[in-house]
């Protein structure tokens, strides 16, 4: 490193340490607010968190900070790969924000907040028309704001998708989603026409919180979660929260008549957690935290679906489940539990979707976001478009807007997020096929040797995630470019067998 | 308020709001660290908390801050009673710290830390001689530091006691503790000579965490804890943590073979919590938080012992306890439970002491602290003095230093704290007698109307606590000066009946 580069590097690090004090504290406050903070104190705690956020923001708005970022970005060939990736991300952020005045930012924040409030009311009243004007405002802001960005792509939607999955574009997604529909729509029809009887009566039997606590704890142990560097607790909407690789927290929620809900939530969030716990130690030291949403969902869904809902995993955990939940499983076989956990049943709600139908929910949102941003759909017309697509792809039609277009909060803060939910399944199907060339995955799962799988993931999937684009990353792991084929083949094989097609 | 006073007031408030951002965040981090933070992250989180503490400290060290405090203190007759109390406390703090240079402060901190480390080793090896030199250093620092304080009393020990219980002195404590010994030592002898058989076999029966969770939750409801402004969670050493009156958190610990441990811990901590939850709303708005330790212990012990271990309370909670702990209580009567919870049994360890013998542990420490500070005891000689006193007052003698003089951590950070543990019992005995002139306390407890008691406490005990000295406060509530008689009469009456003396 040249002396001047070293100087800028040291300056940047000093400011990143200062920023981290505020960000770290805000992060702990945020976790506290989502878990234990009593209702009456949430507003105050939110104010304190926002004040810390402002202080962090002020550090990075300092010209001394941006000067260092710009200089280091120009001289990134002198940096190690961690610093180079961190500086590149900071530089991109700088380009994205530099032309947005505080007044604009404030106006946008107010509009998003207004959209959030009207969405709440609209959802409660199942009346989309109450939300439509604010959704139009969100669209307009997204277009206006993107035009001001110096890191923008050729079109608005690609820029927004890239915020969650760097480098991913419609040019890649369009043919992928088309191919998926092509194969999945007829396959779904065959599944729904199947005569196969799957027993599900036991799935709603009552369990206690204590039983669910025991199983959650057991499942984290099974997948290889490191409890000395993590914790588990309860919340309303489960999530994973990481302060650093030494502090990764999984949350879950207990429903007395859905014993599988917390179980698979824990395995899903546990996947997210492993990704953070077993990424390179250097990441924290370099203030590097750039895993994409798609990468993260690939790992969480790998654990939830590819591992968690496999026959081998059910075989592994069945004795413990029966011991902890005798009232649920004493008259149930391993095979019956496997089948019940993999039932296909089209639903109107994305969050209640099974593994098979989930992708349709994402494709529908993707197609509609595209139409919103390229102007081919009128905002007022969206509910009809939404309902038609549900009917076309899933054969069901929402009875009202609340169970249809208003179900998700995401559009109150913009577009581009949903594709990451689908793309994760494609990544993990690809790297699982690679993994299987090196490891006997089914045997490892049956025998409870999941740490071996975790360690392979750490070496091949986690290690470079913060330092590569998703395109580079999946190519480096599998030797191939993104394709839906592995995932589609997997679904076809699994459900053909399950439904005896 | 004069314009200049208003100006200083506004300036001070702006800086207090700034300080609060850091203090509030540090407080959340601290709570997190004591409860859920994984072991591997504690050091990092401690660093972030310390950095926030420094930032808060810098705000109050600003000459603009001290100028405002001094001005407002001189003009405190223009302030409302909340501001006047807040400013007085800040002013006292300023006087206490102003002559302590950062270098001195740092040297003291190192010495306290050294004492902590050597205490840990000494306790582990049960060898007081390893701790003695550092205890001497702590004594010397306390003397040196007190000499530098501009708010000091006539002698060192009074200054230190006043840090925890403003205005309390040895002149008040000496005759109180002497009178207590005078009456309690012969009473203890009579109790121990009693032929009364108390059944305790069921006290070590095994209970589950879930059962303990249920009872803890129930007990908080019974005493009138407001869950919308508070929470309960688990920790190693139970404590109560308050961020504001809207956020008061009780913690507990479950022992499988001591079902009463968490129960009475919850009632004790719940008492602390009520004190914070039901103090005046104005306190938070005025940055006022000046309840003394003795006042706080008076409330927690009021709930734990005066309410919690009363016959009426056991009558109230017995049906629920039997329902939740059938394996413990199915062959136990209400009377047997009451008796078992009130057994008197001299122990070497303060933290395991029963209600009756507890005071002796405090008196012993008080007498020894006094000898340490006035030079009448040699540091090297303390274990003998300690052991002799245990033999004299409680009739038992520690077998080694670990179960004797080294049992508590407190001396690693100085002296003056212990008396507050004893004084709380005297306060609550006095105000309970006053309360009984207005409320039928036994009937309210039997009928589960504890919120009525809580509301009386809020009006008479909690309301002025942050704005009065303990002397003013107990006089205002009861019309009388501090006396041990109410407490001694209560003990005599209760244990004479229980042990059929």
Q: For residue range B112-134, what is the model confidence (pLDDT) as tens digits?
A: 989 999 999 999 999 999 999 99
Q: Is the CATH code 1.10.1370.30 the one for domain A201-347+423-468?
A: yes
Three-class SS of residue A436?
helix
Percent of chain A with pLDDT over 90: 97
Which band of pLDDT confidence, cut at 50, 70 and 90, is reported for residue A236? confident
| Active-site hit among B269, B297, B355, B369 | B269
Query: Minimal Cα–Cα distance from B299 to chain A, Å?
Result: 23
Using a 10 angstrom Cβ sphere, with 0-12 exposed, 13-18 middle and 19 or more buried, the burial of residue A267 is buried
Instruction: Please indicate whether, in this complex, the C-beta atoms of A38 and B230 are within 8 angstroms of each other.
Output: yes
- Strand B240-244 and strand B247-252: the pairing is antiparallel
User: In chain B, which residue's Cα lies nearest the Cα of A19?
Assistant: B48
Using a 10 angstrom Cβ sphere, with 0-12 exposed, 13-18 middle and 19 or more buried, the burial of residue B233 is middle
Q: The tokens 């106006």 sit on which residue?
A: A107
Q: The tokens 């004594």 sit on which residue?
A: B139
Three-class SS of residue B497?
helix
CA angle, A99 as apex, A94 and A105 as ends, to 5°? Answer: 95
Supply φ then ψ for residue B479, to 5 degrees. 80, 5
Instruction: In whole angstroms, give the CA distance from residue A299 to residue B281.
Output: 48
Q: The tokens 């001591």 sit on which residue?
A: B258
**Contact call for residues B165 and B294 (beta carbons, < 8 A):** yes
- Token representation of residue B130: 């390893």
Which band of pLDDT confidence, cut at 50, 70 and 90, is reported for residue A12? very high
Instruction: Please indicate whether, in this complex, the C-beta atoms of B228 and A39 are within 8 angstroms of each other.
Output: yes
Question: Residue ranges of the alpha helices (H) in A194-309?
Answer: 209-223, 259-277, 282-285, 293-301
- Note the pTM of the prediction, 2 decimals: 0.93
Nearest to A231 among B21, B36, B55 (CB): B36
Q: The tokens 């030291």 sit on which residue?
A: A285
Query: Minimal Cα–Cα distance from B223 to chain A, Å?
Result: 18
DSSP state of B155: S
Instruction: In whole angstroms, give the CA distance from residue B154 to residue B431.
Output: 30
- Token representation of residue A309: 């809902």
Instruction: Please indicate whether, in this complex, the C-beta atoms of B52 and A210 are within 8 angstroms of each other.
Output: no
- Token representation of residue A420: 């990451």
Total CB pairs under 8 A between chain A and B? 107
Distance between alpha carbon B44 and the CA centroid of its chain, in Å?
29
Q: What is the ipTM of this complex?
A: 0.91
Q: Which residues contact A474 (CB under 8 A, 6 or more apart)?
A: A427, A430, A431, A480, A481, A482
Range B330-339, long-range pairs (CB < 8 A, 24+ positions): B331/B202, B332/B199, B332/B202, B336/B199, B336/B202, B338/B309, B338/B311, B338/B314, B339/B198, B339/B199, B339/B498
Q: For residue range B275-304, what is the model confidence (pLDDT) as tens digits?
A: 999 999 999 999 999 999 999 999 999 999
Instruction: In whole angstroms, give the CA distance from residue A134 to residue A130.
Output: 8
Sequence length of chain A is 501
Instruction: Please indicate whether, in this complex, the C-beta atoms of A37 and B229 are within 8 angstroms of each other.
Output: no
Nearest to A41 among B26, B45, B246 (CB): B246
Q: For residue range B157-192, what is the model confidence (pLDDT) as tens digits?
A: 999 999 999 999 999 999 999 999 999 999 999 999
Instruction: Please indicate whether, in this complex, the C-beta atoms of A38 and B247 are within 8 angstroms of each other.
Output: yes
* Structure confidence at residue B405 (pLDDT): 97
* Structure confidence at residue A300 (pLDDT): 98
Chain A CB contacts of B246 below 8 Å: 38, 40-41, 44
Q: For residue range A15-60, what is the model confidence (pLDDT) as tens digits?
A: 999 999 999 999 999 999 999 999 999 999 999 999 999 999 999 9
Q: Is the pLDDT of residue A87 over 90?
A: yes
Instruction: In whole angstroms, give the CA distance from residue A260 to residue A55.
Output: 42
* Structure confidence at residue A73 (pLDDT): 98
Which band of pLDDT confidence, cut at 50, 70 and 90, is reported for residue A106? confident
H-helix or E-strand containing B484? none
User: In chain A, which residue's Cα lies nearest the Cα of B211?
Assistant: A210
Supply φ then ψ for residue B267, to 5 degrees. -70, -40
Which band of pLDDT confidence, cut at 50, 70 and 90, is reported for residue A438? very high
Q: Which residues contact B215 (CB under 8 A, 6 or more apart)?
A: B259, B262, B263, B266, B320, B321, B324, B325
Chain B CB contacts of A38 below 8 Å: 227-231, 246-249
* Structure confidence at residue A102 (pLDDT): 85
**Which among B294, B292, B275 is positioned nearest to B423, based on CA atoms?**
B294
B269 is an active site residue: yes
Percent of chain B with pLDDT over 70: 100
- Token representation of residue A415: 């577009």
Using a 10 angstrom Cβ sphere, with 0-12 exposed, 13-18 middle and 19 or more buried, the burial of residue A234 is middle
Count of Cβ atoms closer than 10 Å to residue A311 Cβ: 18
Distance between alpha carbon A492 and the CA centroid of its chain, in Å?
24
Sign of CA dihedral A198, A202, A207, A211: negative
Three-class SS of residue A81?
helix
Count of Cβ atoms closer than 10 Å to residue A349 Cβ: 12
Q: Which of B246, B250, B251, B278 should be substituted to probe chain A, the one whose Cβ sees the most A Cβ atoms within 10 Å? A: B246
**Which among B267, B280, B273, B223 is positioned nearest to B247, based on CA atoms?**
B273
CA dist list (Å): B422 to B177, B296, B374: 9, 11, 21
Count of Cβ atoms closer than 10 Å to residue B288 Cβ: 21
* Structure confidence at residue A10 (pLDDT): 98
H-helix or E-strand containing A473? helix A470-478
Instruction: Please indicate whether, in this complex, the C-beta atoms of B41 and A247 are within 8 angstroms of each other.
Output: yes
Instruction: Please indicate whether, in this complex, the C-beta atoms of A231 and B40 are within 8 angstroms of each other.
Output: no
- Chain B residues with CB within 8 Å of chain A CB: 20-21, 24-26, 28-29, 31-32, 35-41, 44-45, 48, 51-52, 55, 208-210, 227-231, 233, 243-244, 246-249
Q: For residue range B234-282, what is the model confidence (pLDDT) as tens digits?
A: 998 899 999 999 999 999 999 999 999 999 999 999 999 999 999 999 9
Domain boundaries, chain B: 3-123, 201-345+440-469
Query: Minimal Cα–Cα distance from B48 to chain A, Å?
Result: 6
Instruction: In whole angstroms, give the CA distance from residue B311 to residue B332.
Output: 15
**Contact call for residues A470 and A162 (beta carbons, < 8 A):** no
Q: Is the pLDDT of residue B394 over 90?
A: yes
DSSP state of B77: G
* Structure confidence at residue A264 (pLDDT): 97
Mean pLDDT of A137-166: 96
Helices and strands (DSSP H and E) totals, chain A: 22, 3
Q: Which of B15, B36, B49 should be substituted to probe chain A, the one whose Cβ sees the most A Cβ atoms within 10 Å? A: B36
**Which among A196, A5, A145, A156 is positioned nearest to A87, based on CA atoms?**
A5
- Chain A residues with CB within 8 Å of chain B CB: 20-21, 24-26, 28-29, 31-32, 35-41, 44-45, 48, 51-52, 55, 208-210, 227-231, 233, 243-244, 246-249
Q: Which of A16, A28, A29 should be substituted to probe chain B, the one whose Cβ sees the most B Cβ atoms within 10 Å? A: A28
Average pLDDT of chain A, as a whole number:
96
Could you write out the three-class secondary structure of A172-198?
HHHHHHHHHHHHHHHHHHHHHHCCCCC
Chain A CB contacts of B277 below 8 Å: none
Using a 10 angstrom Cβ sphere, with 0-12 exposed, 13-18 middle and 19 or more buried, the burial of residue A237 is exposed
Strands (E), A162-279: 230-234, 240-244, 247-252
Instruction: Please indicate whether, in this complex, the C-beta atoms of A246 and B36 are within 8 angstroms of each other.
Output: no
Using a 10 angstrom Cβ sphere, with 0-12 exposed, 13-18 middle and 19 or more buried, the burial of residue B259 is buried
Q: The tokens 């019992």 sit on which residue?
A: B425
Three-class SS of residue A247?
strand
**Which among A267, A269, A263, A268 is positioned nearest to A251, based on CA atoms?**
A269
């Amino acid at each position: 490193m040249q002396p001047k580069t070293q100087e800028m590097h040291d300056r940047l690090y000093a400011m990143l340490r200062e920023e981290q004090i505020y960000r770290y504290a805000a992060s702990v406050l945020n976790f506290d607010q989502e878990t234990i903070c009593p209702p009456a104190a949430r507003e105050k705690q939110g104010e304190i968190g926002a004040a810390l956020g402002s202080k962090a923001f002020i550090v990075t708005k300092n010209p001394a900070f941006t000067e260092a970022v710009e200089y280091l970005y120009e001289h990134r060939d002198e940096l190690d790969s961690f610093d180079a990736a961190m500086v590149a991300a900071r530089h991109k952020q700088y380009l994205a924000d530099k032309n947005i005045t505080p007044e604009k930012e404030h106006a946008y924040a107010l509009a998003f907040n207004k959209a959030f409030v009207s969405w709440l009311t609209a959802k409660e009243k199942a009346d989309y028309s109450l939300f439509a004007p604010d959704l139009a405002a969100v669209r307009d802001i997204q277009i206006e704001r993107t035009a001001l960005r110096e890191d923008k792509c050729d079109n608005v939607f690609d820029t927004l998708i890239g915020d969650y999955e760097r480098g991913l574009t419609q040019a890649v997604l369009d043919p992928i989603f088309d191919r998926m529909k092509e194969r999945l729509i007829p396959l779904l029809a065959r599944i729904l026409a199947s005569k196969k009887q799957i027993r599900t009566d036991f799935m709603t039997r009552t369990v206690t919180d204590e039983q669910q606590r025991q199983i959650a704890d057991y499942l984290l142990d099974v997948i290889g979660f490191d409890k000395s560097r993590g914790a588990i607790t309860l919340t309303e909407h489960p999530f994973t929260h990481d302060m650093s690789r030494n502090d990764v927290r999984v949350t879950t929620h207990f429903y007395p008549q859905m014993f599988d809900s917390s179980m698979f939530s824990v395995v899903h969030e546990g996947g997210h957690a492993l990704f953070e716990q077993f990424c390179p130690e250097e990441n924290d030291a370099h203030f590097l935290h750039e895993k994409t949403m798609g990468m993260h969902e690939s790992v969480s869904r790998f654990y939830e679906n590819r591992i968690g809902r496999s026959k081998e995993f059910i075989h592994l955990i069945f004795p413990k489940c029966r011991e902890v939940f005798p009232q649920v499983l004493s008259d149930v076989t391993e095979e019956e539990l496997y089948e019940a956990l993999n039932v296909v049943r089209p639903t109107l709600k994305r969050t209640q979707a099974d593994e098979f139908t989930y992708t349709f929910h994402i494709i529908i949102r993707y197609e509609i976001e595209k139409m919103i941003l390229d102007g081919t759909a009128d905002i007022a017309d969206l509910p009809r478009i939404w309902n038609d697509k549900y009917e076309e792809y899933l054969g069901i039609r929402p009875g009202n807007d609340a169970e249809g277009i208003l179900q998700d909060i995401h559009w109150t803060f913009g577009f581009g997020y949903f594709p990451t939910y689908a793309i994760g399944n494609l990544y993990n199907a690809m790297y699982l096929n690679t993994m299987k060339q090196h490891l006997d995955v089914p045997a490892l799962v049956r025998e409870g040797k999941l740490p071996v799988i975790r360690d392979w993931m750490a070496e091949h999937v986690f290690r470079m995630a913060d330092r590569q684009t998703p395109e580079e990353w999946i190519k480096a792991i599998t030797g191939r470019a993104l394709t839906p084929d592995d995932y589609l083949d997997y679904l076809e094989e699994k459900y053909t067998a399950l439904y005896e097609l």
